[in-house]
Chain A
Amino acid sequence: TQLLEQSPQFLSIQEGENLTVYCNSSSVFSSLQWYRQEPGEGPVLLVTVVTGGEVKKLKRLTFQFGDARKDSSLHITAAQPGDTGLYLCAGAWGNTGTASKLTFGTGTRLQVTL
């Protein structure tokens, strides 16, 4: 069973601070996704990274895929209360055209306070 470990598990910060969340595995992924889940809702896809070393930006969020495609990080600049939620990484294996089965990480619960 492939495992995806995320760290930290919990993070409580004040508005304006920066933070980084990590996702690690011993397996090589064909792609890795980051999702955010708010209470009472399903996870919402934020980004997909496919190429080793790839960096993608989504406003204040920066996502990086490790060179060996075994790990990823999510960096948030100047966090806002709206960033509060559960952040999940998910890895897929196999050809990017056919890979469908995802394994989700353990999650990082972020709370941003005023």
Chain B
Amino acid sequence: DAGVIQSPRHEVTEMGQEVTLRCKPISGHDYLFWYRQTMMRGLELLIYFNNNVPIDDSGMPEDRFSAKMPNASFSTLKIQPSEPRDSAVYFCASSHRGLAYEQYFGPGTRLTVT
């Protein structure tokens, strides 16, 4: 079975540009999570969805960040405009209801904003 799929794996962009990160969760999973990982702050939850509905976006750093989940098999995280401090590895994870705390992570997208 395919795991969580993320694209692109690496993204290098200039400050001010729009960045879109994509995620395909494991089929049948009800929850989808977006995390950001940096050396300074570790792994931080940005937002999560249940059945395609955003439940908690309190971790989204500011209005430049937005996330959508138009259907059960696809989600995007958009940064507009991007800034150098957004440079990090962004992970998508999914889980199944009843065991929602057992999350399965994708390989991540390494974002570099210059």
Q: What residue in chain B is nearest A48 (Cβ atoms)?
A: B102
Q: B residues within 8 A CB of A78? A: none
B102 to chain A, nearest CB (A): 6
With an 8 Å Cβ cutoff, the count of chain A residues facing the other chain is: 25
User: A98 near B100 (CB under 8 angstroms)?
Assistant: yes
- Residues of A within 8 Å of B103, CB to CB, are 33, 45, 102
Name the contact of B101 in the complex, choosing from A31, A42, A43, A105 (C-beta under 8 A).
Answer: A31
Cα of A12 to Cα of B96 in the assembled complex, Å: 36
A100, B106: Cβ atoms under 8 Å?
no
Majority secondary structure of chain A interface residues (helix, strand, loop or mixed): loop
- B contacts with A: majority SS: strand
Q: Which listed residue (B43, B91, B100, B104) contacts A100, Cβ 8 A?
A: B100
Residues of A with C-beta under 8 A to B105: 42-44
The smallest C-beta distance from A59 to any residue of chain B, in angstroms, reads 19
Contact at B45–A102, with CB atoms within 8 Å?
yes
Give chain A nearest CB distance to B107 CB in angstroms. 6
Complex CA gap A41/B102 in Å reads: 17
Give the docked Cα–Cα distance between A20 and B43 (Å): 22
**Which 5 residue pairs are nearest across A and B when measured between Cβ atoms?**
A42-B105, A100-B100, A92-B101, A104-B43, A43-B105
A96-B101, A104-B44, A107-B42 known, 10 other contacts, Cβ within 8 Å: A41-B107, A43-B105, A45-B102, A45-B104, A90-B101, A98-B100, A99-B100, A100-B50, A105-B42, A106-B42
